[in-house]
Amino acid sequence: MALLEIRNMTHWFGGLRAVYNFNTRIEPGEIRGLIGPNGAGKTTVFNLVTGFYTPTEGQIFFLGREITGLRPHQIGRLGISRTFQNLRLWTHLTALDNVKIAYYSQIRYGLIGAFFNTRARREEEERIDHEARQLMRMLDIDQYAHRVVSGLPYGIQRKVEIARALATKPKLLLLDEPTAGMGPAEMEETMAFIRRIRDQFNLTIWLIEHKMKFVMGLCGWIQVLNFGEIIAEGPPEEIQRNPEVIRAYLGEMVEL
Amino acid sequence: MEQLAQQLFNALQWGSFYALIALGYSMVYSILMLFNFAHGDVFMVATYIGYFVATALLGLAVLQVLPFSNIVIFVLTLILTMFLASFVGIAVELVAYRPLRDAPRASAAITGLMVGIFMETAVLALLGASRKDFPLLIPPITFKIGPVHVTNLKILTLVMAFALMLLLHLFISRTKVGMAMRAMSFDYAVVPLLGIPMNTIIAFTFALGSALAGAAGIFFGMAYPVLDPYMGVLIGWKAFVAAILGGRGSIFGAVVGGFLLGFIEILVAATLPSTMRDLIAYSIVLLILTFRPYGLFGEEYSVRLRL
Amino acid sequence: MALRKALTPLLHWFRTRFGHVPVGAWLLGAAVAAFLERLLGPDLAYLLGLGSVPAIFGLSIILKTPSLIPSVLVFVVLMYVIPTLVVAWLSRALFLWWEEQLSVPVYVFLHVLFLFLVLYFWSQVDPYRLLVLRLLGINILLTLSLNLVNGWMGEFSVSVAGFMSVGAYVSSVFMVWGFVHDDVFGPPVFPEFLAPFAFPLALILAGAVTAVTALLVAVPSFRTRGDYLAIITLAYVFIVKSTVENLDFIGGPRGFMNQPEVASFTVVFIWTVLGIWVMWNYVTSILGKATNAVRDNESAAEMMTVDTRKVKIVAFLTHAFWSGVAGGLYAHVLGYINPSSFDLRKSAEILGMLYLGGLNSVSGSIVGPVLFMFLTEILRPFQLAKWLVIPVILIYAMIRRPRGLMGFQELRIPFLTRRQQAKEEARAYGVTGN
């Protein structure tokens, strides 16, 4: 059974067709790429999968269960998490709090516990604190735990965002341009990092990227989106040679 | 039916008050993205200014001998009051908003509220002890159109309100400052390109809004002559609601919202006990905003997040 | 400048001598001072020619008749400064010993107890102080609960006066119907001596009803934020006021009185501490911190499995509940309410306290009302001038510190900080333990 299956997904913003007849199956353990020129609708696909928009037509299945029309936090609970194109950290909070809040759905005390500081709450907070620190240690960001995130370097903020996404215990992680604003050296490092977390956390990863080299080196299967439609898909070598892809990217040849 | 036609004029009159004041809220919002919570009290102060100007002008013997002295005095009062009121607006801008340009918006809201309270208390302390009656500028004449009685005051208010709105429209669309205001409401970044300092445009916006509130104050004083330091709270907040109903920052919306609120209130007052007026008016506001969260003419997010 | 220069050696002396005296010892010292004032205050005031005990450290006396400054100074030094310093100095060892021996909750409880004693003795001297302190407790509850929505959740709500109004009327009706012989509600339903015991129930009922009506503003908050939500909360205030004015059985615009005298200082103090404790617990829990996540980035919060609608509902309903409770206390402290006691100016007042103290800060929500009321009470003899001076001070405060005095930070209490640090070190090295 596929981890994620999307059938004939179409989305309209008013009179504008953002995504048209999108189909895909993502198998467990894959690193999947979604590429395309600016404004092709890549982020919209992610927003549809994670429930920020409900598709006008079509269905989305996760682990065989239909998730079309669920709200994002419900989808998040089922095991899909993501990062955002422009970091969306909770800027007034510390890195540790950013990670801890992502455990929200796993908290085993209720409002009574929150208001009256029950024993159950103290134990549970201790457990989450421990887990969150462990997670941060695995990503080498534990030394920033008590720093307010808005003051952290950009690269660290990216990692905090990934740690936060991992805290929800996802099976499928969507990364929206994980290398935005990075130089070539950091890119290499990020590729290794993504492979590592895939193995360490048993993840399936679906990423949007602009930098061809990055996608080609990392993904086993790539889909190319243009004007909301898939114009090509296949393994990296094939995509690189595909004339339609080259045409779609003509304006952005520099990036190839 | 006659009753209804009669109420129609009341609604138009109150709608004029609301619309003129609401314009001040909307114009400031369109440029600064924040509501000037002291605007209601600017209206109140302007009304008091109008009272002093009118009383002073009526005392001048020179003006009494002129032909159409009533009209001359009225026009002079209106112009002088609007002129003086605009300085109240600029003062509010200087004290409450300019120093907080980069601060969180809630802080600016607090300073606005506080300037309002300050003005109320100051007026109360200086003038509150004695009752102030707005002088009779134009003797009322009642016309009879069919079965409906209309006073010249109501007609004058309505005509002048529309004339002022037209002037405002011309100002915004034709003059350089007006165009700068429009440009600024689209994008802050273009302002340096226009060759007019940003703060000048902002001050001008406050001045314009306050001048309109001054005009509303004159018309209001002529119709309901007893002045009260808290009238800004009572009428100002309603006008604020009208601005919201129309949609934030929309000039056209403010006018429509003002008249709409006037109609709603008068209809409620005509059909239900008058004490229910506020209750129904604000309930309708709540309903409209619950189902159309961005007002009638306000823009929604281009892509609405489903949250 | 000259003043600061003159004070520097004094401050230095103070810091070296008293710098390490624990908070608890200061509280004990103040309690002893307040107790002494209760015993000897009136006589000393008489001897110094002050007439009666200066209500608020003589500050309004000084402003009104400057010639009394020497007497007031002597009074303050003899009555407050010397006993506090002496007792604090003497008892410091005791508190340092307790700090080691007692568990944190017990130690904190001890502090609250001493604080209660300070305020209790202090309030016994003068009915005016008693009133002010009770109103202060109420204002703290209002400010802190408002801070949940305006600070932690980052909305701009002005509905606090409306919430107060609902709470005040609900509790008043319950208490008058149940325990008072009233013209409208007839003879009491229950024996009158039960009134103090039923009052907590009345307050909880008041809070609960207020919370239900708060759904009117909580539900629209799902779809709209910022200015528009602010307008909805504004409309709420007007709707509540207008509704009460139209309900004749609770007096309409004339108001409602006859509330039994059940809101003593002790009762208000207990409710205030309870409110602070509950709200502190909430905002320090992960569940509560999700409110911050909704403020900083709502869509990220949703994606990270936070049920943002639930978070919003809880924030608004908690705000409403505690404002309702505060409203109930207010009604019974004053013994008379009318719809105009709960107009927008009331909201503006609470907003002033909130933004003076600072957003997103529990200690700010205590410091704000304390400072604000301190100012208003000093200026009370000047009546109108009060509302001229307060706006000016607030505007100045906003311009100098747009985030308020304590915005986004908490007061550090030394012994708690020490414990915190020890715990943190243990955690950072991966050692779990409680």
pLDDT at residue number A45: 95
- Substitution target from C152, C274, C286 for chain A, most A beta carbons within 10 A: C286
Instruction: Check whether residue C66 and residue C184 sit in a common domain.
Output: no
Per-residue pLDDT tens for C235-264? Answer: 899 999 999 999 988 988 999 988 999 999
Distance CA C426, CA C434 (A): 10
User: Around C228, how many Cα atoms within 13 Å sit in the side-chain half-sphere?
Assistant: 27
> Buried b vs exposed e over C25-61: b needs ≥16 C-beta within 10 Å?
bbbbbbbbbbbbbbeebbebbeebebeebbbbebbbb
Question: What pLDDT sits at residue C409?
Answer: 83
Judging contacts by C-beta atoms under 8 Å, the chain C residues touching residue A51 are 302
Shortest distance, CA A122 to any CA of chain B (angstroms): 31
Task: Give the Cα separation of C35 and C83 in Å (integer).
Answer: 10
| SS3 state at C10 | helix
**What are the chain A neighbours of B302 within 8 Å (beta carbons)?**
13
B244 to C243: CB separation less than 8 angstroms, yes or no: no
Final residue of a domain: which of C324, C340, C356?
Answer: C340
Q: State the pLDDT confidence band at A88, using cuts at 50, 70 and 90.
A: very high
Contact A76 C302 (CB under 8 A): yes
Residue C165 inside a domain? The answer is yes
Tell if the CB–CB gap between B305 and A13 is shorter than 8 Å.
no
Last residue of a domain, one of C288, C318, C340: C340
Q: Residue C57's pLDDT is what?
A: 78
Regarding whether C218 and C186 lie in a shared domain, the answer is yes
In a domain, B306, yes or no: no
Answer yes or no: is B46 within a domain: yes
Same-domain pairing of C176 and C284: yes
Task: Give the residue, C198 or C185, on which the prediction is more confident.
Answer: C198
pLDDT of residue B141: 84
Q: Is residue B127 part of a domain?
A: yes
Beta strand ranges found along A50-162 (DSSP E): 57-62, 65-66, 80-82
**Cβ count within 10 A of residue C159:** 30
Q: Are residues B106 and C242, on separate chains, in Cβ contact within 8 Å?
A: no
C142 and C76 share a domain? no
Q: Within a domain: residue C378?
A: no
Boundary residue ending a domain (C340, C369, C392): C340
State whether ipTM is beyond 0.85.
Answer: yes
Domain hosting C312: range is 129-340
Among the listed ranges A186-195, B152-161, B298-307, C40-49, which one has the minimum average pLDDT value? B298-307
Same domain, C249 and C270: yes
CB contacts < 8 A, B to C, total 131
Summarize the confidence of residues C392-406 as an average pLDDT: 83
pLDDT tens by residue, B8-62: 888 899 999 999 999 999 888 888 888 888 999 999 999 999 999 999 988 887 7
Residue B280 inside a domain? The answer is no
C233 within some domain: yes
C367: which 2 tokens?
Answer: 């410091």
Q: Do C305 and A164 touch (CB under 8 A)?
A: no
Least confident of A180-194, B98-112, C199-213: B98-112
Chain-chain contact of B306 with A13 (C-beta, under 8 angstroms): no
Chain C nearest CA to B55, separation (Å): 27
Suggest the residue from A11, A43, A46, A53 to mutate for an interface test with chain B (most B CBs closer than 10 A): A53
Q: Is residue C196 one of the residues assigned to a domain?
A: yes
Q: Could you tell me the two tokens for B150?
A: 């209309």
Q: What is the pLDDT of residue B189?
A: 66
Would you state the pLDDT for residue A100? 96
Which structure tokens are listed for A160?
A: 């905090």
**pLDDT of res. C434:** 39
Subunits with at least 3 CB pairs below 8 A relative to chain B? A, C
Q: How far is B217 from B220, CA to CA, in rounded Å?
A: 5
**Helix, coil or strand: residue A232:** strand
Residue C432 reports pLDDT greater than 50: no
Indicate if the pLDDT at residue C96 is higher than 90. no
The per-residue pLDDT for C220 is 86
C403 found inside a domain: no
pLDDT > 90: what percent of chain A? 76
Among C305, C410, C427, pick the best mutation site for testing chain A contact (most A Cβ within 10 A): C305
Into how many domains does chain C fold?
A: 2
Please give the residue of chain B at the shortest CA–CA distance from C352.
B110
Interface of A with C in 98-117 (CB under 8 A): 100-105, 107, 109, 111, 113-117
Query: In this structure, are C235 and C286 located in the same domain?
Result: yes
Cβ neighbours of B95 in C, within 8 Å:
395
Res A254: pLDDT: 47
pLDDT range class, residue A169, cuts 50, 70, 90:
very high
| Residue bearing the bigger pLDDT, B193 or C301 | C301
Residue C433 has pLDDT above 60, yes or no: no
Q: Has residue A168 got a pLDDT over 90?
A: yes
Helix (H, G, I), strand (E, B) or coil at B112: helix
Q: Is A76 on the interface with C (CB under 8 A)?
A: yes
Residue C266 shares a structural domain with residue C189? yes
Q: What residues make up the domain containing B109?
A: 13-229
Structure tokens at C201: 């129930």
Residue C149 and residue C49 share a domain: no
Task: Write down the mean pLDDT value for chain C.
Answer: 88
Give the C-alpha separation, A36 to C331, whole Å: 65
Q: What percent of chain C has pLDDT over 70?
A: 98
pLDDT tens digits for range A29-50: 999 999 988 888 999 999 999 9
Q: Are C156 and C47 in the same domain?
A: no
pLDDT tops 80 at residue C369: yes
Please indicate, yes or no, if residue B145 is contained in any of the structural domains: yes
How many independent structural domains does chain B possess?
1
B249 dihedral zone (left: phi>0; alpha: psi -120 to 50; beta): left
Q: Which residue has the tokens 């001076």?
A: C389
Residues of B in contact with C242 (CB under 8 A): 275-279, 282
pLDDT tens-digit map of B85-112: 999 999 999 999 998 888 777 788 888 9
Which residue positions in chain B have pLDDT lower than 70?
Answer: 1, 129, 187-194, 248-249, 294-307
* C31 and C134 within one domain: no
Domains and CATH numbers, chain A: 1-79+170-256 (3.40.50.300), 89-169 (no CATH)
> How confident is the model at residue B266, as a pLDDT?
85
Q: Do the domain assignments include residue B25?
A: yes
Instruction: Provide the mean pLDDT of chain B.
Output: 84
Is residue C118 within 8 Å of C47, Cβ to Cβ?
no
- Per-residue pLDDT, averaged over C403-432, amounts to 76
Residue B220 lies in a domain: yes
What proportion of chain C, given as a percentage, has pLDDT over 90? 49
Q: Is the pLDDT of residue A214 over 60?
A: yes
pLDDT at residue B51, rounded to an integer: 92
